[in-house]
């Protein structure tokens, strides 16, 4: 069996020698044209006039397009057709594309794009939560409100009550490879698009709309991305559509890639969030009633903001049984880049709210925050079938049901936390840190353990499907294709391991091929951590069909039961006959057995009503826990992560080293979200942090000095691919412990709760230290 093995990333040898090809590396024919957008310099305006004569006259310019030049749909939205490729009369954010330059080189296109003379009748942009709420500027007609129990009624009977507010900033994806597309015109008006995208089918769909073609006229291919993180789920549409339209109009191949600054000015980022909370709890820290209000600035277009904000609500409970809860979610329309998918897809924003609440309750009661967390944990899955506890416990019996009514039947955080407490030496270190802080007036340390429970499945239920195409050639080599895309996560290798296991051959006999809409149609985005779950299953189905055909043939030939034919170690054994897999394939071919099959999978048992906020949106939950220790400087607010211990549940891992790679990378990215990564817009709506010189993702030395990552011994209770669990997004939220550890360190400065916002830049930390020291 090749599954559950730590095989290295299939592209490693190509990566380290520079041979791995990305979109901008694909050799292009002579005469390839290069595109760039001319963008808005104001955040909200009616366009009065557009003078592109200097653009047209610039060196190397072949053509300049505005909205009127687009032959069919002028729309690149993944949701409700509210996102024109090129602005039509109005602009809604600073950086919005207005015109499209076609030139003989990338540099010529970029230079010309700056020469547009556009005059605007400007309006006051809506930039803040307050401004949007006042103007009732939002998506949907009002806030989404989900309730379970009677939070507002219960507050009065709670012995303790606190209120608070947490603001956490957005996050730039900073995939190292910027957005890129290359369109090649084909005969008969068809087009082939190479796109750096997590969603080739969406690109196909939007390009077809833009060209007035049926989807069969557009083929999209994606071999790999240089990072995605959700930023290439919908944000590549504009480039692909632009390239395809111009390719068809000019008959020339067209390439577009954003310069880094353009990428950051044009594309969407993680939604920032304001979470306000009102919580009633007993003296043990057990929450009895809680109300959350979520305010998310979604930017100018809807994009994926509704499901993102839904997922924030769906993770407002994280790991905790909250018997009476009300969640109100405002999806605000503002004059910013349209916020979009980013690893966790709203989950981190929802989860950090309840983690703040747990921390705040503990502070109020003078308890270890971990004890409060444990007191509110859902019950362990293993304990659910046992008889109910003693009478003393029944007064606050846990419902083990999420706020949206889904039973939590696979909870493992009790055991996971216990193991992590021991392996990280949490309690002894916490005591040692308290002592250390007593004798250090300037520096303070802090520690925090936070859990993750993350729901796995697309909440738009129909997306939970996948297809695969598998060919066995007569020499026994196998070509594998499926709808998932490779963005570095190692999906292709994991899925190849699944295929190799079915055939009993090595992964080296399997060719992993680029995602291609002509091979597998109607695919879902590689998103929601679903890649291996969905595509692994579809590939297994296809491979099992082929294995059955080969087995049937050999069984007939050698007079044995097809079910008794074994595939292992590169051999096929039918009764007393043993042949190599290649010989078996050749024999099947000669007997005119079809050696090509498709596979299809859909996740079972899902049903979800997003308006009511009720149902089972998730197939299962993935779990994890992290302990982060930090040190802060109370003079400047500078802070560092000293150590992180992580225990994460990847089920029965398909590939432990690849999963650990996701966990380590996810943690550091999550820690970056809450520490150094700060998006700053000025009061005209101009993003001032639009390059790595001003926007700081973690660098090498920002990783924890001591970084211990382990997989939790578990297997998925649901029938997923080899009982594994999704691992793309959940580890991101392990980074929340970094913010809570910083809060813990600040708490050493006085008695007031720090209420630190994210990201915890030195400036925010110093402000919190001052608040705590001054007792305000």
Partner 1 sequence: MDIAFLLNGETVRLTDPEPTQTLLDWLRNDRGLIGTKEGCNEGDCGACSVVVTDKNQTAALNACILFLPQIDGKAIRTVEGISAPDGTPHPVQKAMIDLHGSQCGFCTPGFIASMAAAHQNGRSDHDDQLAGNLCRCTGYAPIIKAAELAEAAPKADWLEKTPFVLPKIATEIQAQPAPEGPVYIPQTGDELAEFYADNPDATLIAGATDIGLWVTKQLRALPKIAFLNQISDLAEISETDDAFRFGAMVSIEQLRTTLTSHAPSFAQMLRRFASAQVRASATIGGNIANGSPIGDTPPALIALDATLHLRKSDVRRDLPLEDYFVDYGKQDIQPGEFVEGVSIPKRAHSLSVHKLSKRFDQDISAVLGAFNIIVENDKVSSARIAFGGMAGIPKRASAVEAALTNRVWNTETVAGAIEAFGQDFAPLSDMRASADYRLEAAQNMLWRVWHEDQGTATSVLEVTA
Q: Token pair for residue 437? A: 């802080």
Task: Give the nearer residue to partner 1 in terms of CB position, either 77 or 497.
Answer: 497
445 forms part of the interface with partner 1 (CB under 8 A): yes
DSSP string, 269-280: -BPPEEEEEEEE
Task: Give the nearer residue to partner 1 in terms of CB position, either 58 or 585.
Answer: 58
Count residues near partner 1 (CB under 8 A): 95
446 forms part of the interface with partner 1 (CB under 8 A): no
441 forms part of the interface with partner 1 (CB under 8 A): yes
Collapsing DSSP to helix, strand or coil, 206 comes out as helix
Strands 478-482 and 510-512, by their bridges, are parallel
Site for partner 1 in 241-280 (CB under 8 A): 259-261
Site for partner 1 in 63-122 (CB under 8 A): 105, 107, 110-111, 114
Q: Rounded to whole angstroms, how far apart are CA atoms 130 and 233?
A: 29
- Least Å from the CB of residue 666 to partner 1: 8
Task: Give the nearer residue to partner 1 in terms of CB position, either 80 or 680.
Answer: 680
Residue 274: which of 133, 124, 449 has the closest Cα? Answer: 133
Site for partner 1 in 121-180 (CB under 8 A): 173-178
Residue 369: which of 381, 380, 354, 383 has the closest Cα? Answer: 354
Q: Binding string, 301-330, against partner 1, x = CB under 8 A?
A: ------------------------------
Q: Where are the alpha helices (DSSP H) in 157-224?
A: 200-211
| DSSP-assigned beta bridge partners for residue 421 | none
- Least Å from the CB of residue 114 to partner 1: 7
Active-site residue flag, 729? yes
Task: Give the nearer residue to partner 1 in terms of CB position, either 532 or 632.
Answer: 632
Site for partner 1 in 647-686 (CB under 8 A): 657-658, 660-661, 664-669, 676, 678, 680
Q: Which stretch binds partner 1 (CB under 8 A): 84-92, 616-624, 689-697, 710-718?
A: 689-697
Kindly tell me the burial class for residue 133, based on how many C-beta atoms sit within 10 Å of its own C-beta (0-12, 13-18, 19 or more): middle
Helix 369-376 and helix 347-365, axial crossing angle in degrees, nearest 10: 120
Task: Give the nearer residue to partner 1 in terms of CB position, either 564 or 699.
Answer: 699
| DSSP-assigned beta bridge partners for residue 647 | 625, 710
Q: Which stretch binds partner 1 (CB under 8 A): 6-14, 271-279, 451-459, 470-478?
A: 6-14
Q: Which stretch binds partner 1 (CB under 8 A): 38-46, 138-146, 316-324, 627-635?
A: 627-635
Site for partner 1 in 24-63 (CB under 8 A): 24-25, 27
Site for partner 1 in 185-224 (CB under 8 A): 224
Cα distances (Å, whole numbers) of residue 364 to 293, 750, 751, 767: 21, 13, 10, 21
725 forms part of the interface with partner 1 (CB under 8 A): no
Annotated catalytic residue within 221, 421, 486, 729? 729
- Least Å from the CB of residue 756 to partner 1: 15
> Residues 684-722, buried b or exposed e (16+ Cβ, 10 A)?
ebbbebbeeeebbbbeeeebbeeeebebbebebebebbb
Which H or E element spans position 450? strand 443-456
Q: Which stretch binds partner 1 (CB under 8 A): 89-97, 346-354, 371-379, 632-640?
A: 632-640
Q: Which stretch binds partner 1 (CB under 8 A): 4-12, 197-205, 247-255, 574-582?
A: 4-12
Kindly tell me the burial class for residue 18, based on how many C-beta atoms sit within 10 Å of its own C-beta (0-12, 13-18, 19 or more): exposed
DSSP string, 88-120: -SEE-STT-EEEEEEESSHHHHHHHHTT-EEEE
Collapsing DSSP to helix, strand or coil, 602 comes out as strand
In this structure, are residues 453 and 729 in contact, taking their beta carbons and an 8 Å threshold? no
Q: Binding string, 476-495, against partner 1, x = CB under 8 A?
A: -----------xxxx-----
Q: From the list 9, 205, 223, 374, which residue makes contact with partner 1 (rule: CB under 8 A)?
A: 9
738 forms part of the interface with partner 1 (CB under 8 A): no
Torsion over CA of 748, 749, 750 and 753, rounded to 10 degrees? -70
356 forms part of the interface with partner 1 (CB under 8 A): no
Kindly tell me the burial class for residue 460, based on how many C-beta atoms sit within 10 Å of its own C-beta (0-12, 13-18, 19 or more): middle
Q: Which stretch binds partner 1 (CB under 8 A): 49-57, 333-341, 376-384, 696-704?
A: 696-704
- Least Å from the CB of residue 229 to partner 1: 7
- Least Å from the CB of residue 673 to partner 1: 12
229 forms part of the interface with partner 1 (CB under 8 A): yes
689 forms part of the interface with partner 1 (CB under 8 A): yes
562 forms part of the interface with partner 1 (CB under 8 A): no
- Least Å from the CB of residue 660 to partner 1: 8
Name every residue whose Cβ is closer than 8 Å to that of residue 466 and which is 6 or more positions away in sequence.
482, 483, 484, 523, 524, 530, 534, 535, 537, 538, 600, 601, 602
Cα distances (Å, whole numbers) of residue 102 to 185, 250, 354: 15, 10, 49
Q: What are phi and psi of 126, to 5 degrees?
A: -95, 110
Q: From the list 643, 717, 723, 773, which residue makes contact with partner 1 (rule: CB under 8 A)?
A: 643
- Least Å from the CB of residue 257 to partner 1: 8
Taking residue 643's Cβ as centre, other Cβ atoms within 10 Å add up to 17
732 forms part of the interface with partner 1 (CB under 8 A): no
Q: Which stretch binds partner 1 (CB under 8 A): 95-103, 586-594, 596-604, 704-712?
A: 704-712
440 forms part of the interface with partner 1 (CB under 8 A): yes
Tell me the catalytic residues.
729
């Amino acid at each position: 069996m090749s599954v559950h093995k730590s095989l290295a990333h299939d592209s490693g040898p190509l990566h380290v020698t520079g041979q791995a090809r990305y979109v901008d590396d694909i050799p292009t024919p002579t005469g390839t044209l290069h595109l760039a957008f001319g963008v808005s310099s104001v955040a909200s305006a009616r366009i009065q006039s557009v003078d592109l004569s200097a653009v047209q006259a610039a060196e190397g310019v072949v053509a300049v397009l505005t909205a009127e030049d687009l032959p069919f749909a002028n729309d690149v939205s993944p949701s409700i057709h509210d996102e024109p490729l090129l602005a039509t009369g109005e602009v809604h954010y600073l950086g919005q594309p207005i015109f499209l330059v076609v030139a003989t080189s990338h540099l010529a296109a970029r230079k010309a794009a700056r020469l547009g003379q556009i005059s605007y009748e400007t309006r006051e942009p809506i930039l803040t939560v307050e401004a949007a709420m006042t103007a009732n500027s939002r998506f949907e007609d009002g806030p989404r409100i989900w309730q379970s129990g009677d939070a507002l009624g219960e507050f009065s009977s709670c012995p303790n009550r606190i209120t608070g507010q947490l603001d956490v900033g957005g996050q730039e994806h900073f995939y190292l490879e910027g957005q890129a597309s290359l369109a090649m015109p084909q005969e008969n008006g068809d087009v082939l698009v190479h796109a750096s995208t997590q969603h080739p089918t969406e690109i196909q769909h939007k390009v077809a709309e833009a060209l007035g073609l049926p989807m069969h006229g557009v083929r999209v291919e994606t071999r790999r991305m240089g990072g995605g993180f959700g930023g290439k789920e919908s944000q590549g549409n504009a480039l692909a559509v632009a390239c395809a339209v111009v390719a068809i109009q000019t008959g020339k191949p067209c390439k577009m890639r954003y310069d880094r600054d353009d990428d950051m000015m044009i594309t969407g980022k993680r939604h920032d969030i304001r979470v306000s909370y009102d919580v009633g709890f007993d003296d043990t820290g057990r929450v009895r009633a809680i109300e959350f209000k979520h305010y998310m600035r979604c930017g100018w277009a809807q994009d994926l903001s509704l499901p993102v904000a839904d997922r924030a609500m769906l993770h407002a409970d994280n790991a905790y049984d909250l018997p009476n809860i009300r969640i109100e979610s405002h999806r605000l329309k503002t004059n910013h880049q349209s916020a979009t998918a980013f690893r966790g897809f709203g989950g981190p924003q929802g989860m950090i709210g309840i983690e703040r609440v747990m921390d705040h309750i503990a502070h109020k009661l003078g308890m270890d925050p971990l004890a409060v967390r444990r007191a509110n944990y859902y019950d362990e899955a293993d304990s659910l079938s046992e008889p109910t506890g003693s009478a003393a416990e029944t007064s606050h019996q846990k419902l083990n049901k999420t706020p949206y009514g889904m039973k939590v039947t696979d909870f493992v955080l009790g055991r996971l936390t216990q193991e992590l407490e021991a392996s990280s030496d949490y309690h002894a270190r916490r005591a040692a840190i308290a002592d250390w802080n007593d004798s250090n007036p300037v520096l303070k340390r802090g520690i925090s353990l936070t859990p993750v429970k993350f729901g796995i499945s697309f909440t738009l239920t129909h997306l939970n499907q996948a297809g695969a195409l598998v060919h066995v050639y007569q020499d026994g080599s196998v070509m594998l294709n499926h709808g998932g895309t490779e963005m570095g996560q190692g999906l292709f290798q994991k899925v190849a391991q699944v295929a190799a296991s079915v055939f009993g051959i090595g992964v080296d006999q399997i060719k992993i091929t680029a995602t291609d809409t002509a091979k597998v149609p109607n695919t879902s985005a590689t998103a929601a951590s679903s890649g291996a779950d969905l595509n692994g299953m579809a590939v297994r189905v296809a491979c099992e069909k082929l294995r059955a055909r080969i087995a049937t043939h050999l069984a007939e030939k050698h007079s044995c039961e097809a079910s008794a034919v074994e595939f292992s170690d590169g051999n096929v054994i039918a009764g007393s006959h043993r042949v190599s897999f290649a010989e078996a394939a050749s024999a099947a071919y000669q007997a005119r057995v079809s050696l090509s099959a498709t596979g299809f999978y859909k996740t079972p048992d899902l049903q979800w009503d997003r308006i009511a906020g009720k149902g089972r949106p998730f197939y299962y939950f993935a779990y994890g826990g992290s302990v982060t220790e930090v040190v802060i400087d109370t003079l400047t607010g500078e802070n560092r992560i000293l150590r992180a211990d992580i225990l994460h549940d990847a089920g029965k891992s398909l590939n432990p080293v690849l999963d650990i790679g996701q966990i380590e990378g996810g943690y550091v990215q999550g820690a970056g979200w809450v520490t150094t990564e700060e998006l700053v817009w000025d009061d005209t709506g101009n993003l001032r942090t639009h390059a790595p010189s001003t926007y700081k993702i973690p660098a090498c030395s920002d990783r924890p000095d001591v970084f211990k990552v382990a997989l939790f011994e578990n297997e998925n209770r649901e029938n997923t691919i080899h009982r594994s669990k999704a691992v793309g997004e959940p580890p991101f939220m392990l980074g929340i412990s970094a913010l809570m550890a910083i809060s813990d360190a600040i708490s050493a400065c006085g008695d007031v709760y720090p209420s630190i916002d994210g990201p915890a830049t030195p400036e925010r930390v110093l402000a919190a230290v001052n608040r705590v020291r001054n007792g305000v």
